[in-house]
């Protein structure tokens, strides 16, 4: 067949596209797993390439791999880590268990590129062989869980920065709106006064707490099982290999990686992936709640709360002229739903481990890295295209605050709960304000009443109108 080369494996021979950097293992995987149009993320490919580069250095230092081959493998792996040959990683995200096909995709691409660097041809593995040289001292079983951890850690700073940006923007909006009085709502019913700034400051605090939870949940990812080879015993590796490859990985990634205390546990258990995913889900729950509030606070503009005006970023309807929808917040909600679903998939996969290996790792990392990517992107998008441009309807907010039945709460320390409740009921029935009805009560001086019902003072700790020691 023109444009093809013939490669051989333990199952026989197969035609592989002549221009392909991948080989027979990947060609079989492409045929076997025509499941989706999705591929595992570039962050994982980068992590795999860095592991291959570190392994080449480590094996050369122990004398098991000659320097010429090691240098060629390292150069080829460095190119792949930088994003070159990304189109050669063609295995479907839904693939053979444990990520063997993905590992071989890295082995074959790096081997063929290394062969080129040494003057050889693609598909001729006499100089550099995917298994014997690129995969020396390794197994998918220790490479893939290590790649999962490294890829997540490499993506983590950008995610955390996006949360910092969102928290900072929410905090800034809280300071900007700190004097805007409004009615709180509990059970979606009128409650005591708060400020709009206090609401936004609370959102900022929630995002910051989620960031800290994500940071804490990532700590166990730094423990690597690389060097455990097939079953966590280190079979077919040099006694110094494990220490050397971890050291090299630290240098290549800038991460404070370390060898796991128990290589078997690092291979069998992927609980650290579930832990990080759980923290991402927790953030999605908080972020979705905030997005819901923004949509509610901006509802209207004439028949809703309309306490804030969200930035108009695009037309909202194909049939209703002039309609503008809270599309950034809506997108945020959809991302949060996806992340919550991804977490369920990860949890099921993590629980599916058997004996020395959990073979469901590809679907774990596919969903974990996807969650990290879309949460980071939507956090930045919400901060920049929504929060930054929010404006308050100050008069509407104040009217809601002063007209709220919750104002009667300020009377309770003076007239008791039951009498204050009666005032609230009469206010609702008669359409008169709490202030008007309170003026008719006996035993409260008018000047004192003004202090008691000062809406701004009700947003701070203390008993309104009373000086406390």
Dihedral over alpha carbons 438, 443, 446, 451 (to 10 degrees): -80
356 in Cβ contact with 268 (< 8 Å) = yes
Q: Please provide the size of the chain in residues.
A: 469
CB-count exposure of residue 336 (10 Å: 0-12, 13-18, 19+) = buried
Preceding peptide of 316 cis, ω within 30°: no
Asked if 362 and 99 touch (Cβ cutoff 8 Å), the reply is: yes
Active-site residue, selected from the candidate residues 218, 317, 404, 427: 317
Q: Answer yes or no: 317 catalytic.
A: yes
What string of DSSP letters covers 265-324? HHHH--HHHHHHHHHHHHHHHHHHHHHHHHHHHT--SSSS--SEE----S---SSSTT--
Residue 212's DSSP bridge partners are: none
As a whole number of angstroms, the distance between CA 359 and CA 270 comes to: 10
And the tokens for 101? 């096909």
Q: How far apart are the first and last CA of the chain?
A: 93
Which tokens in the block code for residue 435? Answer: 């202030």
DSSP string, 270-283: -HHHHHHHHHHHHH
Structure-block tokens of residue 265: 């546990």
What is the per-residue DSSP string for 398-467?
HHHHHH-GGGGGGGHHHH-HHHHHHHHHHHHHHT--HHHHHTTSTT--HHHHHHHT-TTGGGSSS-TT--
Q: What DSSP letter does each residue of 48-115 carry, written as one string?
A: HHHHHHHHHHHHHHHTSS-HHHHHHHHHHHHHHHTTTTGGG---BSS-SGGGHHHHHHHHHHHHHHHH
By annotation, the residues acting in catalysis are 317
């Amino acid at each position: 067949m023109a444009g093809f080369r013939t490669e051989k494996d333990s199952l026989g021979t197969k035609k592989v596209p002549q221009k392909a950097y991948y080989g027979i293992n990947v060609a079989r995987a492409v045929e076997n797993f025509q499941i989706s149009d999705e591929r595992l993320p570039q962050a994982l490919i980068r992590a795999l390439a860095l592991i291959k580069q570190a392994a080449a250095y480590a094996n050369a230092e122990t004398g098991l791999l000659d320097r010429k081959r090691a240098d060629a493998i390292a150069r080829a792996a460095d190119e792949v880590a930088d994003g070159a040959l990304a189109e050669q990683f063609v295995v479907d995200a839904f693939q053979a268990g444990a990520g063997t096909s993905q590992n071989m995709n890295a082995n074959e691409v790096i081997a063929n590129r290394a062969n080129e660097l040494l003057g050889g041809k693609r598909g001729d593995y006499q100089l550099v062989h995917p298994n014997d040289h690129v995969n020396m001292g390794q197994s998918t079983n220790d490479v893939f869980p290590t790649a999962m951890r490294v890829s997540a850690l490499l993506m983590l700073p950008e995610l955390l920065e996006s949360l910092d940006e969102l928290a900072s923007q929410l905090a800034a909006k809280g300071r900007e709106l700190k004097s805007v009085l409004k009615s709180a709502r509990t059970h979606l019913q009128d409650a005591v006064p708060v400020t709009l700034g206090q609401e936004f400051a609370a959102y900022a605090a929630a995002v910051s707490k989620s960031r800290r939870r994500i940071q804490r949940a990532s700590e166990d990812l730094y423990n690597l099982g690389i060097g455990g080879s097939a079953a966590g015993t280190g079979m077919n590796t040099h006694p110094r290999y494990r220490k050397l490859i971890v050291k090299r990985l630290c240098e290549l990634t800038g991460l404070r990686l370390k060898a796991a205390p128990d290589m078997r546990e690092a291979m069998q258990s992927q609980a650290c992936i579930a832990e990080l995913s759980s923290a991402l889900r927790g953030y999605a729950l908080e972020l979705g709640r905030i997005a819901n509030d923004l949509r509610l606070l901006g509802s209207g503009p004439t028949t809703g709360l309309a306490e804030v005006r969200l930035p108009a970023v695009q037309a909202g309807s194909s049939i209703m002229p002039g309609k503008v929808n809270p599309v950034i917040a809506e997108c945020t909600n959809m991302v949060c739903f996806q992340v919550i679903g991804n977490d369920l998939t990860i949890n099921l996969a993590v629980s599916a481990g058997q004996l020395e290996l959990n073979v469901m790792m590809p679907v774990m990392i596919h969903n974990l890295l996807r969650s990290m990517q879309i949460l980071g992107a939507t956090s930045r998008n919400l901060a920049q295209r929504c929060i930054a441009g929010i404006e308050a309807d100050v008069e509407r907010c104040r009217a809601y605050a002063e007209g709220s039945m919750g104002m009667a709460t300020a009377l309770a320390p003076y007239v008791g709960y039951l009498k204050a409740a009666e005032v609230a009921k009469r206010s609702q029935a008669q359409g008169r304000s709490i202030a008007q009805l309170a003026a008719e009560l006996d035993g409260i001086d008018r000047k004192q009443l003004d202090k008691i019902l000062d809406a701004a003072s009700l947003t701070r700790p203390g008993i309104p109108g009373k000086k406390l020691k």
